[in-house]
Amino acid sequence: MAQQVLLVTGGSRGIGAATALLAAERGYAVGVNYRRDAAAAAAIVQRITAAGGRAVALQADVADEAEVVALFARLDATLGPVTALVNNAGILEAQMRVDALDAARIGRILATNVTGTLLCCREAVRRMSTRHGGGGGAIVNVSSVAAKTGSPGEYVDYAASKGAVDALTRGLAQEVAQEGIRVNAVRPGFIYTGMHADGGEPGRVDRVKAAVPLRRGGQPEEVAEAILWLLSPQAAYSTGAFIDVAGGR
C-alpha cells in the first residue's frame, strides 16, 4: 500500500508537533506546516528523519488563500498529494471580555481558526475526493471544549471560532461521505502548550486544573493519540464525530 501523506497545520509546536511525531511513528509521511517559527518546524522534521521517517517543513499562513494553495502544491511536489489532513493551526489572543474586543482582533481569530480550516479542507477535498479522481482520505479538525463552554471572561471570540469548526466538521462530513473522505474532530481541554502564554497567562492550565474532573491538565501527546485514531482505518465507521480530550469537562 502506498504511504499515507499527512499534512499537519501548525505542526511546529504543541499539539501539532506531537501529532506529527506520532504520525511518523505510525508510518505516515508528514508535512509539518508552520507560520513563523522555522527552527521549531525544522527540529520536528529532523526528529522524524533521524528516526528513518519522511517529513518536510512547509511555511504558510493558513489564513492566506494563496499561501494555502501553494502549501498543498508544495506537498504534492515533495511527499505527494495529501491523504490525511489535521487542521490544527489555531490562535487566541489576550484574555478579555467581549466589551473590550475590536473587529481587527476578531478578524484575526476567525481568519486563522475558521477561514484557514475551511481553505485547507477545500484543498484536501480537491485531492482526496473520488468525485475529483482522488483515492479518499481523512480529515481531523482540532476544535476545543471552548466550543461548548464559550470561554466567558477569557476569549469568547476564540470559543465562537471553535463553534464554527464544530459546525463545519459536521457539514463537510456529510458533504463528502459518499466520496471516500471522513471528517472528524477532537475537542481538547486544558493542554500544556505555549498557547496559554499567547492569552497572557502561561500558567493557566495549573490555575484551572482543580476544576477538571480528572484534576489535571492534559499533554499534547494525549490529544495526538485521539487524532491518530480518528485518521486510522480503525475509525472507518466514524465521520462527523467528536472526541473530547478534556479530562471530563
- Which are the catalytic amino acids? 158
**Chain position carrying cell 486544558:** 190
The rounded distance, in Å, linking the Cα atoms of 247 and 184 is 19
Q: Which long-range contacts (CB under 8 A, 24 or more apart) does 68-76 make?
A: 68/116, 68/119, 68/120, 68/123, 69/123, 71/7, 71/31, 71/33, 71/123, 72/7, 72/120, 72/123, 72/124, 72/127, 75/5, 75/7, 75/31, 76/127
Q: Among residues 79 and 129, whose Cβ is nearest to ligand NAP?
A: 79
Subset of residues 192 to 231 that bind ligand NAP, contact rule: CB under 6 A: 193-195
176-to-60, 125, 148 alpha-carbon distances in Å: 26, 8, 25
- Residue 39 CB, shortest distance to ligand NAP, in Å, is 9
Subset of residues 158 to 187 that bind ligand NAP, contact rule: CB under 6 A: none
Site for ligand NAP (CB under 6 A): which residue of 5, 7, 9, 226?
A: 9
Q: Among residues 4 and 88, whose Cβ is nearest to ligand NAP?
A: 88
Q: Among residues 23 and 40, whose Cβ is nearest to ligand NAP?
A: 40
Subset of residues 63 to 122 that bind ligand NAP, contact rule: CB under 6 A: 63, 88-91, 112, 116
The rounded distance, in Å, linking the Cα atoms of 156 and 154 is 6
- Residue 125 CB, shortest distance to ligand NAP, in Å, is 19
| Per rule CB under 6 A, count of chain residues that contact ligand NAP | 30
- Residue 237 CB, shortest distance to ligand NAP, in Å, is 25
- Residue 235 CB, shortest distance to ligand NAP, in Å, is 19
Subset of residues 120 to 159 that bind ligand NAP, contact rule: CB under 6 A: 142, 144
Residues 6+ apart with CB under 8 A from 158: 91, 92, 93, 109, 113, 144, 146, 151
Which cell is 140 given? 481531523
Site for ligand NAP (CB under 6 A): which residue of 4, 5, 12, 154?
A: 12
Which cell is 233 given? 482505518
- Residue 11 CB, shortest distance to ligand NAP, in Å, is 6
52-to-85, 121, 231 alpha-carbon distances in Å: 21, 29, 22
Q: What string marks each residue from 21 to 60 as x (binds ligand NAP by CB under 6 A) or -? A: ------------xxxxx--x--------------------
The rounded distance, in Å, linking the Cα atoms of 114 and 68 is 13
- Residues of this chain that interact with ligand NAP (CB under 6 A) are 9-10, 12-16, 33-37, 40, 61-63, 88-91, 112, 116, 142, 144, 188, 190-191, 193-195
